[in-house]
Structure 1
Protein backbone atom coordinates (compact mmCIF):
# COMPACT_ATOMS: atom_id res chain seq x y z
CA UNK A 1 0.00 0.00 0.00
CA UNK A 2 1.41 3.41 -0.93
CA UNK A 3 2.77 5.90 1.58
CA UNK A 4 1.03 9.22 2.19
CA UNK A 5 3.14 12.37 2.55
CA UNK A 6 1.32 14.92 4.72
CA UNK A 7 4.07 17.37 5.59
CA UNK A 8 7.69 17.71 4.74
CA UNK A 9 9.63 14.79 6.19
CA UNK A 10 6.50 13.05 7.52
CA UNK A 11 5.33 9.99 5.63
CA UNK A 12 2.46 7.77 6.74
CA UNK A 13 2.32 4.24 5.39
CA UNK A 14 -1.18 2.82 5.97
CA UNK A 15 -1.30 -0.71 7.38
CA UNK A 16 -2.09 -3.41 4.84
CA UNK A 17 -2.11 -7.18 4.49
CA UNK A 18 1.47 -7.25 5.80
CA UNK A 19 0.06 -6.30 9.22
CA UNK A 20 -1.25 -9.86 9.50
CA UNK A 21 2.14 -11.46 8.76
CA UNK A 22 3.32 -11.90 12.33
CA UNK A 23 6.78 -13.38 12.99
CA UNK A 24 7.02 -16.61 15.02
CA UNK A 25 7.07 -16.15 18.78
CA UNK A 26 9.40 -19.13 19.07
CA UNK A 27 10.23 -21.88 16.61
CA UNK A 28 7.33 -22.15 14.19
CA UNK A 29 4.75 -21.05 16.78
CA UNK A 30 3.07 -17.74 15.97
CA UNK A 31 0.92 -15.36 18.02
CA UNK A 32 -2.36 -16.55 16.37
CA UNK A 33 -1.50 -20.16 17.28
CA UNK A 34 -0.97 -19.19 20.90
CA UNK A 35 -4.20 -17.18 20.91
CA UNK A 36 -6.17 -20.17 19.61
CA UNK A 37 -4.81 -22.37 22.40
CA UNK A 38 -5.47 -19.61 24.93
CA UNK A 39 -9.07 -19.31 23.74
CA UNK A 40 -9.70 -22.98 24.47
CA UNK A 41 -8.22 -22.56 27.96
CA UNK A 42 -10.27 -19.43 28.64
CA UNK A 43 -13.55 -20.96 27.44
CA UNK A 44 -13.05 -24.25 29.29
CA UNK A 45 -11.95 -22.54 32.50
CA UNK A 46 -14.81 -20.07 32.47
CA UNK A 47 -17.58 -22.59 31.92
CA UNK A 48 -16.10 -25.05 34.41
CA UNK A 49 -15.88 -22.39 37.11
CA UNK A 50 -19.24 -20.81 36.28
CA UNK A 51 -21.09 -24.14 36.48
CA UNK A 52 -19.11 -25.75 39.29
CA UNK A 53 -21.67 -24.84 41.94
CA UNK A 54 -24.99 -24.29 40.21
CA UNK A 55 -27.57 -22.29 42.12
CA UNK A 56 -31.31 -21.81 41.68
CA UNK A 57 -30.68 -18.07 41.73
CA UNK A 58 -27.65 -17.88 39.44
CA UNK A 59 -24.61 -15.74 40.02
CA UNK A 60 -23.61 -13.33 37.25
CA UNK A 61 -21.05 -15.80 35.94
CA UNK A 62 -23.54 -18.68 35.96
CA UNK A 63 -26.19 -16.51 34.31
CA UNK A 64 -23.87 -15.57 31.43
CA UNK A 65 -22.78 -19.21 30.98
CA UNK A 66 -26.39 -20.43 30.97
CA UNK A 67 -27.43 -17.67 28.58
CA UNK A 68 -24.71 -18.54 26.05
CA UNK A 69 -25.51 -22.25 26.29
CA UNK A 70 -29.26 -21.68 26.03
CA UNK A 71 -28.75 -19.37 23.06
CA UNK A 72 -26.62 -21.96 21.26
CA UNK A 73 -29.02 -24.78 22.12
CA UNK A 74 -32.42 -23.24 21.46
CA UNK A 75 -31.89 -20.24 19.21
CA UNK A 76 -29.37 -21.87 16.92
CA UNK A 77 -29.35 -25.67 17.11
CA UNK A 78 -33.06 -26.28 17.76
CA UNK A 79 -34.25 -23.65 15.32
CA UNK A 80 -32.05 -24.80 12.44
CA UNK A 81 -31.85 -28.57 12.95
CA UNK A 82 -35.29 -29.24 14.40
CA UNK A 83 -36.54 -30.51 17.74
CA UNK A 84 -36.25 -34.14 16.61
CA UNK A 85 -32.49 -34.19 15.98
CA UNK A 86 -30.89 -31.10 17.49
CA UNK A 87 -29.77 -32.41 20.90
CA UNK A 88 -26.79 -34.45 19.72
CA UNK A 89 -25.43 -31.46 17.80
CA UNK A 90 -25.70 -28.95 20.64
CA UNK A 91 -22.11 -29.52 21.89
CA UNK A 92 -20.73 -28.91 18.41
CA UNK A 93 -22.77 -25.75 17.78
CA UNK A 94 -22.02 -24.45 21.27
CA UNK A 95 -18.29 -25.11 20.79
CA UNK A 96 -18.22 -23.43 17.37
CA UNK A 97 -20.06 -20.35 18.62
CA UNK A 98 -17.96 -19.82 21.75
CA UNK A 99 -14.66 -20.65 20.05
CA UNK A 100 -15.17 -18.26 17.14
CA UNK A 101 -16.59 -15.59 19.44
CA UNK A 102 -13.56 -15.68 21.72
CA UNK A 103 -11.10 -15.60 18.84
CA UNK A 104 -12.99 -12.73 17.19
CA UNK A 105 -13.05 -10.69 20.41
CA UNK A 106 -9.27 -10.80 20.60
CA UNK A 107 -9.35 -8.05 17.99
CA UNK A 108 -10.54 -5.46 20.54
CA UNK A 109 -8.80 -6.77 23.68
CA UNK A 110 -5.87 -4.48 24.60
CA UNK A 111 -2.38 -5.90 24.12
CA UNK A 112 -3.73 -8.93 22.23
CA UNK A 113 -5.51 -6.96 19.50
CA UNK A 114 -5.49 -9.62 16.82
CA UNK A 115 -8.62 -11.53 15.73
CA UNK A 116 -7.30 -14.99 14.92
CA UNK A 117 -10.14 -15.61 12.48
CA UNK A 118 -8.47 -12.95 10.32
CA UNK A 119 -5.96 -15.68 9.42
CA UNK A 120 -7.79 -17.60 6.71
CA UNK A 121 -6.46 -21.00 7.73
CA UNK A 122 -8.41 -21.03 11.00
CA UNK A 123 -11.96 -20.54 9.65
CA UNK A 124 -11.13 -22.84 6.72
CA UNK A 125 -10.06 -25.57 9.15
CA UNK A 126 -13.31 -25.23 11.11
CA UNK A 127 -15.40 -25.26 7.96
CA UNK A 128 -13.63 -27.98 5.96
CA UNK A 129 -12.49 -30.26 8.77
CA UNK A 130 -15.43 -29.93 11.18
CA UNK A 131 -18.68 -28.64 9.64
CA UNK A 132 -18.29 -30.03 6.11
CA UNK A 133 -17.68 -33.70 7.08
CA UNK A 134 -20.37 -33.66 9.77
CA UNK A 135 -23.28 -32.46 7.67
CA UNK A 136 -22.48 -34.76 4.76
CA UNK A 137 -21.93 -37.72 7.10
CA UNK A 138 -25.23 -37.30 8.94
CA UNK A 139 -27.06 -36.82 5.64
CA UNK A 140 -25.59 -39.99 4.13
CA UNK A 141 -26.21 -41.92 7.35
CA UNK A 142 -29.89 -40.96 7.39
CA UNK A 143 -30.74 -41.23 3.70
CA UNK A 144 -28.10 -43.63 2.39
CA UNK A 145 -25.48 -42.45 -0.07
CA UNK A 146 -27.77 -42.84 -3.09
CA UNK A 147 -30.74 -41.23 -1.37
CA UNK A 148 -28.64 -38.37 -0.09
CA UNK A 149 -27.19 -37.52 -3.48
CA UNK A 150 -30.62 -37.83 -5.07
CA UNK A 151 -32.13 -35.52 -2.45
CA UNK A 152 -29.39 -32.93 -2.86
CA UNK A 153 -28.77 -33.08 -6.61
CA UNK A 154 -32.01 -34.32 -8.15
CA UNK A 155 -34.97 -33.47 -5.89
CA UNK A 156 -38.50 -34.14 -7.03
CA UNK A 157 -40.14 -31.39 -9.02
CA UNK A 158 -37.11 -30.27 -11.03
CA UNK A 159 -37.99 -30.39 -14.76
CA UNK A 160 -36.04 -33.00 -16.71
CA UNK A 161 -34.47 -30.63 -19.27
CA UNK A 162 -32.84 -28.48 -16.58
CA UNK A 163 -31.97 -31.33 -14.21
CA UNK A 164 -28.35 -31.82 -15.45
CA UNK A 165 -27.55 -28.13 -15.04
CA UNK A 166 -29.33 -28.02 -11.69
CA UNK A 167 -27.37 -31.06 -10.45
CA UNK A 168 -24.04 -29.53 -11.46
CA UNK A 169 -24.85 -26.23 -9.71
CA UNK A 170 -26.06 -27.99 -6.57
CA UNK A 171 -23.00 -30.25 -6.50
CA UNK A 172 -20.68 -27.24 -6.73
CA UNK A 173 -22.62 -25.43 -4.03
CA UNK A 174 -22.97 -28.29 -1.56
CA UNK A 175 -19.51 -29.79 -1.92
CA UNK A 176 -17.30 -26.79 -2.71
CA UNK A 177 -18.92 -23.39 -2.27
CA UNK A 178 -20.70 -23.90 1.07
CA UNK A 179 -17.58 -24.74 3.11
CA UNK A 180 -15.58 -22.03 1.34
CA UNK A 181 -18.12 -19.23 1.77
CA UNK A 182 -18.70 -20.26 5.40
CA UNK A 183 -15.02 -19.57 6.08
CA UNK A 184 -14.77 -16.46 3.91
CA UNK A 185 -17.60 -14.65 5.72
CA UNK A 186 -15.93 -14.59 9.12
CA UNK A 187 -12.42 -14.17 7.70
CA UNK A 188 -13.33 -11.16 5.54
CA UNK A 189 -15.21 -9.42 8.35
CA UNK A 190 -12.37 -9.88 10.85
CA UNK A 191 -9.67 -8.95 8.34
CA UNK A 192 -11.42 -5.77 7.22
CA UNK A 193 -12.40 -4.73 10.74
CA UNK A 194 -8.89 -5.15 12.11
CA UNK A 195 -7.44 -3.22 9.19
CA UNK A 196 -9.87 -0.30 9.54
CA UNK A 197 -9.21 0.01 13.29
CA UNK A 198 -5.46 -0.06 12.65
CA UNK A 199 -5.73 2.68 10.02
CA UNK A 200 -7.60 5.08 12.32
CA UNK A 201 -5.50 4.29 15.41
CA UNK A 202 -2.11 4.50 13.73
CA UNK A 203 -3.22 7.41 11.60
CA UNK A 204 -4.25 9.37 14.69
CA UNK A 205 -0.94 8.61 16.40
CA UNK A 206 0.96 9.69 13.30
CA UNK A 207 -0.90 12.99 13.02
CA UNK A 208 -0.24 13.79 16.67
CA UNK A 209 3.41 12.77 16.95
CA UNK A 210 4.97 12.84 13.50
CA UNK A 211 3.53 15.84 11.70
CA UNK A 212 4.87 19.36 12.21
CA UNK A 213 1.64 21.04 11.09
CA UNK A 214 -0.29 22.49 14.02
CA UNK A 215 -3.48 22.41 11.90
CA UNK A 216 -3.26 18.63 11.45
CA UNK A 217 -2.65 17.68 15.08
CA UNK A 218 -6.29 18.24 16.21
CA UNK A 219 -7.36 15.86 13.44
CA UNK A 220 -5.71 13.06 15.43
CA UNK A 221 -8.49 13.45 18.02
CA UNK A 222 -11.08 12.95 15.30
CA UNK A 223 -9.28 9.81 14.14
CA UNK A 224 -9.26 8.40 17.67
CA UNK A 225 -12.94 9.20 18.18
CA UNK A 226 -13.69 7.28 14.99
CA UNK A 227 -11.49 4.43 16.25
CA UNK A 228 -13.45 4.25 19.52
CA UNK A 229 -16.78 4.25 17.71
CA UNK A 230 -15.57 1.62 15.27
CA UNK A 231 -14.39 -0.53 18.17
CA UNK A 232 -17.97 -0.80 19.42
CA UNK A 233 -19.17 -1.54 15.90
CA UNK A 234 -16.45 -4.14 15.50
CA UNK A 235 -17.48 -5.80 18.77
CA UNK A 236 -21.01 -6.14 17.43
CA UNK A 237 -19.72 -7.59 14.14
CA UNK A 238 -17.49 -10.04 16.00
CA UNK A 239 -20.46 -11.42 17.92
CA UNK A 240 -22.61 -11.39 14.79
CA UNK A 241 -20.06 -13.33 12.73
CA UNK A 242 -19.72 -16.01 15.41
CA UNK A 243 -23.50 -16.31 15.43
CA UNK A 244 -23.71 -16.49 11.62
CA UNK A 245 -21.04 -19.19 11.43
CA UNK A 246 -22.81 -21.33 14.03
CA UNK A 247 -26.23 -20.59 12.48
CA UNK A 248 -25.16 -21.63 8.97
CA UNK A 249 -23.40 -24.71 10.30
CA UNK A 250 -26.58 -25.81 12.07
CA UNK A 251 -28.58 -24.92 8.96
CA UNK A 252 -26.42 -27.17 6.77
CA UNK A 253 -26.85 -30.03 9.22
CA UNK A 254 -30.60 -29.48 9.36
CA UNK A 255 -30.84 -29.43 5.57
CA UNK A 256 -28.80 -32.64 5.28
CA UNK A 257 -31.09 -34.42 7.74
CA UNK A 258 -34.36 -33.12 6.31
CA UNK A 259 -36.53 -35.37 4.23
CA UNK A 260 -36.91 -34.57 0.54
CA UNK A 261 -39.89 -32.35 -0.22
Structure 2
Protein backbone atom coordinates (compact mmCIF):
# COMPACT_ATOMS: atom_id res chain seq x y z
CA UNK A 1 0.00 0.00 0.00
CA UNK A 2 1.09 3.58 -0.61
CA UNK A 3 -0.46 7.04 -0.37
CA UNK A 4 -0.50 10.23 -2.37
CA UNK A 5 -1.77 13.71 -1.56
CA UNK A 6 -4.29 15.42 -3.81
CA UNK A 7 -4.25 19.07 -4.87
CA UNK A 8 -6.68 19.87 -2.04
CA UNK A 9 -4.54 18.07 0.57
CA UNK A 10 -6.53 14.86 0.89
CA UNK A 11 -4.40 11.76 1.54
CA UNK A 12 -5.53 8.84 -0.61
CA UNK A 13 -4.57 5.26 0.15
CA UNK A 14 -3.80 2.85 -2.69
CA UNK A 15 -3.59 -0.94 -2.53
CA UNK A 16 -1.20 -2.75 -4.85
CA UNK A 17 -1.04 -6.34 -6.10
CA UNK A 18 1.93 -7.30 -8.30
CA UNK A 19 2.55 -10.33 -10.53
CA UNK A 20 5.59 -12.50 -10.04
CA UNK A 21 7.33 -11.25 -13.18
CA UNK A 22 7.22 -8.12 -15.33
CA UNK A 23 3.57 -7.10 -15.80
CA UNK A 24 1.87 -7.57 -19.15
CA UNK A 25 -0.43 -4.68 -18.24
CA UNK A 26 -1.76 -2.58 -15.38
CA UNK A 27 -5.33 -2.71 -14.11
CA UNK A 28 -6.54 0.25 -12.07
CA UNK A 29 -9.73 -0.51 -10.12
CA UNK A 30 -12.20 2.22 -9.17
CA UNK A 31 -14.57 0.88 -6.50
CA UNK A 32 -18.21 1.71 -5.92
CA UNK A 33 -20.09 3.98 -3.52
CA UNK A 34 -20.05 3.16 0.18
CA UNK A 35 -17.33 0.52 -0.03
CA UNK A 36 -13.53 0.33 -0.38
CA UNK A 37 -10.74 -1.20 -2.42
CA UNK A 38 -9.95 -4.14 -0.09
CA UNK A 39 -13.19 -5.78 -1.23
CA UNK A 40 -11.57 -6.29 -4.66
CA UNK A 41 -8.69 -8.40 -3.33
CA UNK A 42 -9.94 -11.70 -4.89
CA UNK A 43 -10.35 -10.05 -8.30
CA UNK A 44 -6.96 -8.34 -7.98
CA UNK A 45 -5.29 -11.62 -7.04
CA UNK A 46 -6.78 -13.32 -10.09
CA UNK A 47 -5.54 -10.48 -12.30
CA UNK A 48 -2.06 -10.58 -10.73
CA UNK A 49 -1.90 -14.35 -11.28
CA UNK A 50 -2.61 -13.64 -14.97
CA UNK A 51 0.33 -11.22 -15.12
CA UNK A 52 -1.30 -7.86 -14.42
CA UNK A 53 -0.15 -5.29 -11.87
CA UNK A 54 -3.24 -4.07 -10.02
CA UNK A 55 -3.82 -0.79 -8.19
CA UNK A 56 -6.97 0.32 -6.38
CA UNK A 57 -7.41 3.48 -4.35
CA UNK A 58 -9.87 4.11 -1.56
CA UNK A 59 -11.73 7.09 -3.03
CA UNK A 60 -11.92 10.29 -1.04
CA UNK A 61 -14.71 9.91 1.52
CA UNK A 62 -14.23 6.12 1.57
CA UNK A 63 -12.21 3.52 3.47
CA UNK A 64 -8.76 4.61 4.60
CA UNK A 65 -9.15 7.82 2.56
CA UNK A 66 -12.19 8.95 4.59
CA UNK A 67 -11.09 12.45 5.59
CA UNK A 68 -14.30 14.22 6.58
CA UNK A 69 -16.88 11.50 7.18
CA UNK A 70 -18.50 8.72 5.15
CA UNK A 71 -19.34 9.83 1.62
CA UNK A 72 -18.07 13.39 2.12
CA UNK A 73 -16.00 14.27 -0.96
CA UNK A 74 -15.25 17.91 -0.20
CA UNK A 75 -15.47 21.03 -2.35
CA UNK A 76 -16.05 20.11 -6.02
CA UNK A 77 -15.64 16.58 -4.73
CA UNK A 78 -17.11 14.66 -7.65
CA UNK A 79 -14.79 16.25 -10.21
CA UNK A 80 -11.88 15.91 -7.81
CA UNK A 81 -12.63 12.19 -7.41
CA UNK A 82 -12.37 11.81 -11.19
CA UNK A 83 -9.10 13.76 -11.16
CA UNK A 84 -7.81 11.53 -8.34
CA UNK A 85 -8.22 8.56 -10.69
CA UNK A 86 -6.26 10.37 -13.39
CA UNK A 87 -3.49 11.23 -10.92
CA UNK A 88 -3.22 7.59 -9.90
CA UNK A 89 -3.16 6.57 -13.57
CA UNK A 90 -0.21 8.88 -14.20
CA UNK A 91 1.56 7.45 -11.15
CA UNK A 92 1.17 3.81 -12.17
CA UNK A 93 2.21 4.63 -15.74
CA UNK A 94 5.46 5.98 -14.31
CA UNK A 95 5.89 2.80 -12.28
CA UNK A 96 5.21 0.56 -15.28
CA UNK A 97 6.20 2.41 -18.45
CA UNK A 98 5.35 0.94 -21.81
CA UNK A 99 2.59 -1.45 -20.75
CA UNK A 100 -1.16 -1.01 -21.36
CA UNK A 101 -3.30 0.62 -18.67
CA UNK A 102 -6.78 -0.75 -18.03
CA UNK A 103 -9.27 1.34 -16.03
CA UNK A 104 -11.88 -0.93 -14.41
CA UNK A 105 -14.72 0.93 -12.69
CA UNK A 106 -17.55 -0.66 -10.75
CA UNK A 107 -20.84 1.15 -10.04
CA UNK A 108 -19.94 4.65 -8.79
CA UNK A 109 -16.39 3.95 -9.97
CA UNK A 110 -17.79 3.22 -13.42
CA UNK A 111 -19.60 6.58 -13.40
CA UNK A 112 -16.29 8.26 -12.61
CA UNK A 113 -14.64 6.19 -15.36
CA UNK A 114 -17.28 7.37 -17.85
CA UNK A 115 -16.23 10.96 -17.13
CA UNK A 116 -12.50 10.13 -16.95
CA UNK A 117 -12.35 8.86 -20.53
CA UNK A 118 -13.86 12.15 -21.73
CA UNK A 119 -11.72 14.37 -19.50
CA UNK A 120 -8.51 12.42 -20.19
CA UNK A 121 -8.78 10.76 -23.62
CA UNK A 122 -5.87 8.42 -24.22
CA UNK A 123 -4.73 8.20 -20.60
CA UNK A 124 -6.19 4.68 -20.26
CA UNK A 125 -5.74 2.17 -23.06
CA UNK A 126 -8.71 -0.04 -22.12
CA UNK A 127 -11.98 0.64 -20.27
CA UNK A 128 -14.05 -1.86 -18.26
CA UNK A 129 -17.41 -0.81 -16.79
CA UNK A 130 -19.04 -3.19 -14.28
CA UNK A 131 -22.43 -2.70 -12.64
CA UNK A 132 -22.75 0.43 -14.74
CA UNK A 133 -25.69 2.33 -16.17
CA UNK A 134 -26.85 5.47 -17.95
CA UNK A 135 -26.52 7.65 -14.87
CA UNK A 136 -29.06 10.31 -15.91
CA UNK A 137 -31.63 7.56 -16.41
CA UNK A 138 -30.82 6.13 -12.99
CA UNK A 139 -31.37 9.52 -11.32
CA UNK A 140 -34.71 9.86 -13.11
CA UNK A 141 -35.83 6.49 -11.75
CA UNK A 142 -34.67 7.30 -8.23
CA UNK A 143 -36.54 10.62 -8.29
CA UNK A 144 -39.73 8.64 -8.85
CA UNK A 145 -38.85 6.11 -6.12
CA UNK A 146 -38.36 8.59 -3.26
CA UNK A 147 -35.49 9.60 -0.96
CA UNK A 148 -34.40 6.16 0.29
CA UNK A 149 -32.05 5.05 -2.48
CA UNK A 150 -31.06 1.73 -0.94
CA UNK A 151 -34.69 0.77 -0.29
CA UNK A 152 -35.46 1.49 -3.93
CA UNK A 153 -32.63 -0.79 -5.04
CA UNK A 154 -33.82 -3.58 -2.72
CA UNK A 155 -37.49 -3.27 -3.65
CA UNK A 156 -37.40 -5.83 -6.51
CA UNK A 157 -36.21 -8.55 -4.13
CA UNK A 158 -39.08 -8.65 -1.66
CA UNK A 159 -39.56 -10.42 0.63
CA UNK A 160 -35.93 -9.56 1.33
CA UNK A 161 -33.65 -11.33 3.76
CA UNK A 162 -31.59 -8.14 4.33
CA UNK A 163 -31.49 -4.52 3.19
CA UNK A 164 -28.71 -5.37 0.75
CA UNK A 165 -30.11 -8.37 -1.14
CA UNK A 166 -29.82 -6.30 -4.33
CA UNK A 167 -26.03 -6.66 -4.26
CA UNK A 168 -25.71 -10.41 -4.87
CA UNK A 169 -27.42 -13.79 -4.73
CA UNK A 170 -24.53 -14.96 -2.52
CA UNK A 171 -25.79 -14.53 1.04
CA UNK A 172 -22.30 -14.79 2.54
CA UNK A 173 -21.13 -11.86 0.39
CA UNK A 174 -24.15 -9.78 1.38
CA UNK A 175 -23.57 -10.54 5.05
CA UNK A 176 -19.89 -9.59 4.77
CA UNK A 177 -20.89 -6.27 3.23
CA UNK A 178 -23.38 -5.57 6.02
CA UNK A 179 -20.82 -6.46 8.71
CA UNK A 180 -18.15 -4.19 7.19
CA UNK A 181 -18.01 -0.81 9.03
CA UNK A 182 -16.67 0.84 5.87
CA UNK A 183 -19.64 -0.20 3.75
CA UNK A 184 -23.25 0.78 3.35
CA UNK A 185 -23.37 4.59 3.07
CA UNK A 186 -24.16 6.98 0.24
CA UNK A 187 -22.49 10.17 -0.91
CA UNK A 188 -23.31 13.33 1.03
CA UNK A 189 -25.94 15.66 -0.44
CA UNK A 190 -23.40 18.02 -1.99
CA UNK A 191 -21.49 15.26 -3.77
CA UNK A 192 -24.73 13.64 -4.93
CA UNK A 193 -25.86 16.96 -6.40
CA UNK A 194 -22.54 17.29 -8.22
CA UNK A 195 -22.90 13.78 -9.61
CA UNK A 196 -26.45 14.63 -10.73
CA UNK A 197 -25.11 17.66 -12.60
CA UNK A 198 -22.46 15.56 -14.32
CA UNK A 199 -25.00 12.84 -15.12
CA UNK A 200 -27.51 15.21 -16.70
CA UNK A 201 -24.93 17.02 -18.80
CA UNK A 202 -21.60 15.44 -19.65
CA UNK A 203 -22.36 11.77 -19.01
CA UNK A 204 -25.61 11.91 -20.97
CA UNK A 205 -23.72 12.77 -24.16
CA UNK A 206 -20.35 11.00 -24.38
CA UNK A 207 -18.00 12.93 -26.64
CA UNK A 208 -14.28 13.00 -27.24
CA UNK A 209 -13.63 9.33 -26.44
CA UNK A 210 -11.15 7.67 -28.82
CA UNK A 211 -13.22 5.57 -31.22
CA UNK A 212 -10.79 2.65 -31.05
CA UNK A 213 -10.81 2.45 -27.23
CA UNK A 214 -11.57 -1.16 -26.23
CA UNK A 215 -14.59 -1.05 -23.91
CA UNK A 216 -16.11 -3.94 -21.96
CA UNK A 217 -19.51 -3.39 -20.32
CA UNK A 218 -20.68 -6.16 -17.99
CA UNK A 219 -23.89 -6.15 -15.95
CA UNK A 220 -26.32 -8.52 -14.30
CA UNK A 221 -29.77 -8.58 -15.81
CA UNK A 222 -31.26 -8.33 -12.29
CA UNK A 223 -29.14 -5.31 -11.32
CA UNK A 224 -31.68 -2.73 -10.08
CA UNK A 225 -29.51 0.11 -11.36
CA UNK A 226 -30.49 -0.92 -14.87
CA UNK A 227 -34.26 -1.49 -14.91
CA UNK A 228 -34.02 -4.90 -16.58
CA UNK A 229 -31.09 -3.78 -18.76
CA UNK A 230 -32.90 -0.81 -20.31
CA UNK A 231 -30.41 1.70 -18.89
CA UNK A 232 -27.26 -0.30 -19.64
CA UNK A 233 -28.70 -0.80 -23.13
CA UNK A 234 -29.02 2.99 -23.36
CA UNK A 235 -25.43 3.54 -22.25
CA UNK A 236 -24.13 1.07 -24.84
CA UNK A 237 -26.30 2.65 -27.54
CA UNK A 238 -24.84 6.07 -26.72
CA UNK A 239 -21.29 4.76 -26.95
CA UNK A 240 -21.97 3.12 -30.29
CA UNK A 241 -23.54 6.32 -31.62
CA UNK A 242 -20.40 8.15 -30.43
CA UNK A 243 -18.42 5.93 -32.79
CA UNK A 244 -16.81 3.47 -30.37
CA UNK A 245 -16.06 0.45 -32.53
CA UNK A 246 -14.39 -1.95 -30.06
CA UNK A 247 -17.21 -2.30 -27.55
CA UNK A 248 -18.27 -5.61 -25.96
CA UNK A 249 -21.51 -5.77 -23.97
CA UNK A 250 -22.04 -8.82 -21.74
CA UNK A 251 -25.04 -9.52 -19.52
CA UNK A 252 -25.38 -12.29 -16.94
CA UNK A 253 -28.84 -13.85 -16.41
CA UNK A 254 -30.01 -13.76 -12.81
CA UNK A 255 -27.01 -11.78 -11.56
CA UNK A 256 -27.46 -8.69 -9.43
CA UNK A 257 -25.25 -5.64 -8.89
CA UNK A 258 -21.87 -6.90 -7.65
CA UNK A 259 -20.80 -9.26 -10.41
CA UNK A 260 -17.40 -9.92 -8.83
CA UNK A 261 -19.18 -11.09 -5.64
CA UNK A 262 -21.94 -13.04 -7.36
CA UNK A 263 -22.58 -16.78 -7.20
CA UNK A 264 -21.17 -17.08 -10.74
CA UNK A 265 -18.14 -14.87 -10.07
CA UNK A 266 -15.78 -17.56 -11.38
CA UNK A 267 -17.44 -17.29 -14.77
CA UNK A 268 -17.44 -13.47 -14.61
CA UNK A 269 -13.72 -13.27 -13.79
CA UNK A 270 -12.80 -15.88 -16.41
CA UNK A 271 -14.72 -13.93 -19.06
CA UNK A 272 -13.00 -10.71 -18.00
CA UNK A 273 -9.53 -12.27 -18.14
CA UNK A 274 -10.16 -13.71 -21.59
CA UNK A 275 -11.47 -10.38 -22.86
CA UNK A 276 -8.50 -8.46 -21.41
CA UNK A 277 -6.01 -10.88 -22.94
CA UNK A 278 -7.56 -10.18 -26.34
CA UNK A 279 -7.90 -6.42 -25.81
CA UNK A 280 -4.22 -5.81 -24.99
CA UNK A 281 -2.83 -8.32 -27.50
TM-score (norm 1): 0.26
TM-score (norm 2): 0.25
Q: Which has the higher contact order (CA 8 A, sep 6+)?
A: 1
Query: Which protein is richer in strand relative to its size?
Result: 2
Query: Which protein is richer in helix relative to its size?
Result: 1
